[in-house]
Amino acid sequence: MKSLYLFFVILLCGCQAQPVKQAATSQNQQSLSQSLATQLVGCPDNFQNSHLFNNELLSVNQQRIVIEQGKKEPRGIGSFSIRLYGANPQFPYDDFLDGLIRMRDGSVSNIFIDQQQTSDEVIVVEIQSSGSGGYKTQELFKIKNNKIEFIETKDLSF
Protein backbone atom coordinates (compact mmCIF):
# COMPACT_ATOMS: atom_id res chain seq x y z
CA MET A 1 0.00 0.00 0.00
CA LYS A 2 2.85 2.39 0.84
CA SER A 3 4.44 1.72 -2.55
CA LEU A 4 1.18 2.54 -4.31
CA TYR A 5 0.87 5.75 -2.29
CA LEU A 6 4.44 6.77 -3.14
CA PHE A 7 3.80 6.00 -6.81
CA PHE A 8 0.86 8.41 -6.85
CA VAL A 9 2.84 11.08 -4.99
CA ILE A 10 5.54 10.85 -7.65
CA LEU A 11 2.96 10.95 -10.41
CA LEU A 12 1.10 13.96 -8.98
CA CYS A 13 4.21 15.97 -8.17
CA GLY A 14 5.72 15.42 -11.57
CA CYS A 15 9.10 14.70 -10.04
CA GLN A 16 11.96 13.20 -11.93
CA ALA A 17 12.69 10.47 -9.39
CA GLN A 18 15.31 7.95 -10.48
CA PRO A 19 13.93 4.46 -11.16
CA VAL A 20 14.74 1.77 -8.63
CA LYS A 21 16.73 -1.00 -10.29
CA GLN A 22 15.69 -3.95 -8.12
CA ALA A 23 12.22 -5.39 -7.71
CA ALA A 24 10.35 -4.94 -4.45
CA THR A 25 10.49 -8.03 -2.23
CA SER A 26 9.52 -8.47 1.37
CA GLN A 27 13.19 -8.01 2.35
CA ASN A 28 13.84 -4.78 0.48
CA GLN A 29 10.36 -3.19 0.48
CA GLN A 30 11.21 -0.95 3.43
CA SER A 31 14.46 0.22 1.82
CA LEU A 32 12.56 0.79 -1.45
CA SER A 33 10.05 3.03 0.33
CA GLN A 34 12.86 4.90 2.06
CA SER A 35 14.71 5.28 -1.24
CA LEU A 36 11.65 6.73 -2.97
CA ALA A 37 10.97 9.05 -0.05
CA THR A 38 14.58 10.24 -0.13
CA GLN A 39 14.33 11.00 -3.86
CA LEU A 40 11.12 12.96 -3.29
CA VAL A 41 12.55 15.34 -0.70
CA GLY A 42 12.89 18.16 -3.26
CA CYS A 43 9.60 17.48 -5.02
CA PRO A 44 7.09 19.26 -2.77
CA ASP A 45 9.13 22.49 -2.73
CA ASN A 46 9.41 22.55 -6.50
CA PHE A 47 5.76 21.68 -6.96
CA GLN A 48 4.46 24.12 -4.32
CA ASN A 49 6.62 27.04 -5.41
CA SER A 50 5.74 26.72 -9.10
CA HIS A 51 2.37 28.45 -8.56
CA LEU A 52 3.47 31.23 -6.21
CA PHE A 53 3.17 34.86 -7.18
CA ASN A 54 6.60 36.46 -7.43
CA ASN A 55 6.91 39.71 -9.34
CA GLU A 56 8.50 43.13 -9.13
CA LEU A 57 7.98 46.75 -10.05
CA LEU A 58 10.27 49.74 -10.54
CA SER A 59 9.39 53.00 -8.83
CA VAL A 60 9.83 56.38 -10.50
CA ASN A 61 13.26 56.73 -8.88
CA GLN A 62 14.21 53.18 -10.06
CA GLN A 63 13.93 51.49 -6.67
CA ARG A 64 12.97 47.83 -7.05
CA ILE A 65 9.79 46.62 -5.28
CA VAL A 66 9.43 42.83 -4.97
CA ILE A 67 6.11 41.19 -4.05
CA GLU A 68 6.11 37.46 -3.34
CA GLN A 69 3.68 34.95 -1.81
CA GLY A 70 5.01 32.97 1.13
CA LYS A 71 6.89 29.82 0.20
CA LYS A 72 5.50 26.50 1.47
CA GLU A 73 2.11 28.10 2.13
CA PRO A 74 -1.19 27.11 0.53
CA ARG A 75 -2.10 29.14 -2.51
CA GLY A 76 -5.44 30.30 -1.10
CA ILE A 77 -4.32 31.62 2.29
CA GLY A 78 -1.09 32.68 3.95
CA SER A 79 1.14 35.71 3.56
CA PHE A 80 2.94 37.87 1.06
CA SER A 81 6.02 39.99 1.40
CA ILE A 82 6.72 43.37 -0.11
CA ARG A 83 10.40 44.32 -0.20
CA LEU A 84 12.16 47.50 -1.26
CA TYR A 85 15.65 47.58 -2.77
CA GLY A 86 17.83 50.54 -3.67
CA ALA A 87 18.24 51.84 -7.21
CA ASN A 88 21.29 49.92 -8.41
CA PRO A 89 20.72 48.36 -11.86
CA GLN A 90 24.05 46.54 -11.78
CA PHE A 91 23.22 44.75 -8.49
CA PRO A 92 19.43 45.13 -8.12
CA TYR A 93 19.04 43.04 -4.93
CA ASP A 94 22.17 44.08 -3.01
CA ASP A 95 20.73 47.14 -1.27
CA PHE A 96 17.76 45.94 0.82
CA LEU A 97 16.05 48.99 2.33
CA ASP A 98 12.80 47.81 3.93
CA GLY A 99 10.11 45.16 3.85
CA LEU A 100 6.78 44.07 5.26
CA ILE A 101 4.97 40.75 5.56
CA ARG A 102 1.18 40.86 5.32
CA MET A 103 -1.50 38.24 5.80
CA ARG A 104 -3.54 37.29 2.73
CA ASP A 105 -6.88 35.53 2.31
CA GLY A 106 -6.56 34.43 -1.31
CA SER A 107 -3.85 34.60 -3.96
CA VAL A 108 -1.96 37.66 -5.12
CA SER A 109 -3.36 38.22 -8.61
CA ASN A 110 -1.90 41.55 -9.72
CA ILE A 111 0.44 44.36 -8.67
CA PHE A 112 0.85 47.84 -10.07
CA ILE A 113 1.83 51.39 -9.15
CA ASP A 114 -1.04 53.87 -9.09
CA GLN A 115 0.04 57.49 -9.41
CA GLN A 116 -3.51 58.78 -9.84
CA GLN A 117 -4.62 58.55 -6.20
CA THR A 118 -2.21 61.06 -4.64
CA SER A 119 0.99 62.82 -5.53
CA ASP A 120 2.82 59.79 -4.07
CA GLU A 121 3.29 56.50 -5.84
CA VAL A 122 0.83 54.00 -4.40
CA ILE A 123 1.76 50.33 -4.69
CA VAL A 124 -1.36 48.22 -5.18
CA VAL A 125 -1.39 44.48 -4.42
CA GLU A 126 -4.61 42.80 -5.58
CA ILE A 127 -5.71 39.62 -3.82
CA GLN A 128 -8.34 37.26 -5.27
CA SER A 129 -10.11 34.98 -2.79
CA SER A 130 -10.11 31.26 -3.49
CA GLY A 131 -13.74 30.66 -2.55
CA SER A 132 -16.82 30.61 -4.74
CA GLY A 133 -17.46 34.33 -4.22
CA GLY A 134 -14.32 35.40 -6.03
CA TYR A 135 -13.88 38.39 -3.73
CA LYS A 136 -11.11 40.86 -4.45
CA THR A 137 -9.24 43.18 -2.14
CA GLN A 138 -6.44 45.64 -2.68
CA GLU A 139 -3.63 46.28 -0.21
CA LEU A 140 -2.23 49.80 -0.67
CA PHE A 141 1.31 50.84 0.26
CA LYS A 142 3.52 53.86 -0.25
CA ILE A 143 7.25 54.48 -0.04
CA LYS A 144 8.37 57.31 2.20
CA ASN A 145 11.98 57.94 3.24
CA ASN A 146 13.04 54.52 1.91
CA LYS A 147 10.42 52.78 4.06
CA ILE A 148 7.32 50.89 2.94
CA GLU A 149 4.19 52.13 4.71
CA PHE A 150 0.87 50.31 4.71
CA ILE A 151 -2.00 52.66 3.79
CA GLU A 152 -5.20 50.60 3.78
CA THR A 153 -7.07 47.54 2.55
CA LYS A 154 -9.85 48.16 0.02
CA ASP A 155 -12.68 45.68 -0.49
CA LEU A 156 -13.59 45.50 -4.19
CA SER A 157 -16.39 42.95 -3.86
CA PHE A 158 -19.33 45.35 -3.41
Question: What's this model's pTM, rounded to 2 decimal places?
Answer: 0.66
Q: How far apart are CA 143 and CA 15, in angstroms?
A: 41
pLDDT at position 98 is 97
pLDDT single digits (tens) 36-66: 333 434 444 444 445 667 888 988 889 999 9
Select 53-155's CATH number: 2.40.400.10, 1.10.3720.10, 3.30.565.10, 2.40.128.460: 2.40.128.460
User: Where are the domains positioned within the chain?
Assistant: 2-48, 53-155
- Per the CB < 8 A criterion, the answer to whether 140 and 156 are in contact is no
Q: How far apart are CA 78 and CA 105, in angstroms?
A: 7
Contacts by 127-131, CB closer than 8 A, 24 or more apart:
127/80, 129/76, 129/105, 130/75, 130/76, 130/77, 130/106
pLDDT single digits (tens) 75-117: 889 999 999 999 998 999 999 999 999 999 999 999 999 987 5
Q: Higher confidence at residue 158 or residue 11?
A: 158
Q: How far apart are CA 70 and CA 77, in angstroms?
A: 9
Give the three-state DSSP class for 100.
strand
Greatest CA span in the chain, whole angstroms?
Answer: 72
